[in-house]
Structure 1
Amino acid sequence: MAKDLLVAADRYRMQKLKLICENTLHGYVHASTVLAFSGLAEKYGCKGLKEACFKFLKRDSSEPAEKQPDRGRKIYQKSCQQERIQMPSSPGPAIVDPGRSSASTIAADMETGSHELTVRGYSGTKGLGVAGASHYYPDGYNVESSDCISLYLQLLVDDDQGDNGDVKAQFKFCLLDQGEPVPSYTLTSKRQEFARIKSHAWGWAKFIRRKELEESPHIEDDTFRISCHVTVPKIRAEETQVHFLTSPSKTDLHRHLGDLLESNVGADVKFRVGRETFTAHRSILAARSPVFRAELFGWMKEKWAAQVRIDDMEPRVFGAMLHFIYTDSLPQIEGDRRVMAQHLLVAADRYCLVGLKMICEDMLRNFIDTNTAATTLELAEQHGCRRLKERCLNFLKNPGNTIAVGCPSLVKDLLAKVSP
């Protein structure tokens, strides 16, 4: 199967699939396959596979492989109490620089770990300024971020390790809500270098504005939680007959689908929204939305229509929804983000786009005030947004927050939640 896939990948210039197939075939190089694999590698330009075959033919099969000692480094996370937490390790995929060829196999295992930081008595930490060498800065890291909470990650090394090298790591900070990451407050770094001698720390000076946190549902009883996930490549070397290539770990699928949407290549359906026309691909829409699947491939009349008309939706909202369907992300939103989130939530509910609905719901939870609580509450009730509805009802616990509600089914909930 790997041989056939390699041929197909070379034919259609699918480089990542070709690398995966080549990597798979390396594990099957032995006396009965080496000549066939060598010819395959020569024909389709598989340099790594070709070198592995030549190496197998040259080596003495009775010579055992000498495994070099594993040299890893520990990454630590410090909380606001200066607590030192060792990140647990777990095995990951072997990854190698495809441009390197030598007599050894070089692989990078992935050490991963996570730590959850709970800040209790949050209001008591405000006004303290920069909290020394801590990674949690309740009043910001500098003047520019004085209205924000800053979060940083720093490398700590035991003195008895005897390893003075720097470490490259990728990390992610997430604000948690009932144990789940909040998408709008989840930040992921690029791979950064943590210097041991200079003691550099990496993070975000403006992780979240204090006002946004204090007005959000993510803080309860003056307590909120943040998780930190760290991934560290751990290099190992061993003498072996196998020569690994890069195993692709990051997909470009969403970017490729976004390019497909913009180029209109292969588009087979048109949508008329207001005065604008959008082109798309029936199969992609059907795969992402059961409503589109029924409209375009089911019994509904749109199955045979050359152009589908969409009523009760603005063109910019439909365009943003299409962008999410293809890329799993929202485009840059211009203008009133709250109004756009409202319209997108309605569209997401209409086409059963659960991921888009959750993003819109999360956005709207940050815009609840006395001017918006009524419309947001009714919107949450109409479209089954439980978390958004709870946030509105919690807001109404304050006796000073009064609104006019036009949805009768909410009166009972309001009386139960808000009445003294």
Structure 2
Amino acid sequence: MGPESKKTASRHTTETETGTHTFEVIGYTFKKGIGISNSIQSGTFTIGGSDWCIRIYPDGFANTREYVAIYLVHLSMNANVRASYRLSLVNQTTGLSDILCSETIATEFNSFNTLSLCALIERSKLESKSAGYIVNNGLIIECNVTVIKESQVLDITRGLDIEVPPSDLPEHFAKLLVEEESADVTFSVGREKIPAHKIVLATRSPVFKAELYGQTKERRPHDVTVDDMQPQVFKALLRFIYTDSLPDWDEPDVGEYCGITRHLLVAADRYAMDRLKFLCARLLVKYLDAETVATTLVLADQHNCDRLKEVCIEFMTYSGEMDAVVATQGYANLKRTSPSILVDVLEKISRHCKK
């Protein structure tokens, strides 16, 4: 198969907000004669984050004496907005709305900027009884406004993909280990019998592979005795083999936890499982202190953990806790079992002190 082609996509979206305001004028005839360019005004209404109102000029505006002028007014200060609109008169006889003027293409409004095309209706037509616009001396105007809000470009690549759940392979293998189904080898560790699956162990460890499959068919073991290892440690080893993770121990104290981890590092070295060795080494570094550093250094030297060994020597050199280290049993063991390493430590400390 060739390399996968990368697919990307984006989408430009423009949001709008639409609202309708109904302005009812009661006592319309009482407003006649207020004078040209004098108006009555609706309450303020908000659409799309902007404030608006409707103004009616019963005696006309400027040179529109023969007409009643109706304006939509943008009231928001220091704000530009684009909007489309529709102004209508309600026929109170039929209940229907008759459009006076409309603009479907968004028009830009500035602060206190009215529409360039207001609604004009002949006064005689508006006041005709047959028109049905004025009933009981009342007039109803409807204004519909659609405000164009901010546009944005969205990355919709995720929408073109299918989300895949995380791998549940470790869960299945953990279940295989716990339920012991089809187990074909049993390990005797201490006083416990621990079933397992040869093929899984051989896949993860060359030592297990040689031990379980390297002999003739007739002599391939079904029962294996493991000496010098605690059952708890062997179970942790199997847990890692099956799931690539360590068990969740019930919050042992630091000393107990470090002890288990040291034994597990030894097991990892015994079965040639380098990733587990590195994981154990990292855990031991996390709890490194004056009490544990010498013991951990001996362990690192005996099981070829070069980086762990370096970290222990650096701790002893730069921590300033050498007096406390010397007082530990681990340091006594270090002097007895690995004097050459101790020489390296002391020489490095000496060089550091001379700087």
Please report the TM-score for the alignment, with normalisation by the length of structure 2: 0.49
* Structure with more of its chain in strand, by fraction: 2
Q: Mark the structure with the bigger radius of gyration.
A: 2
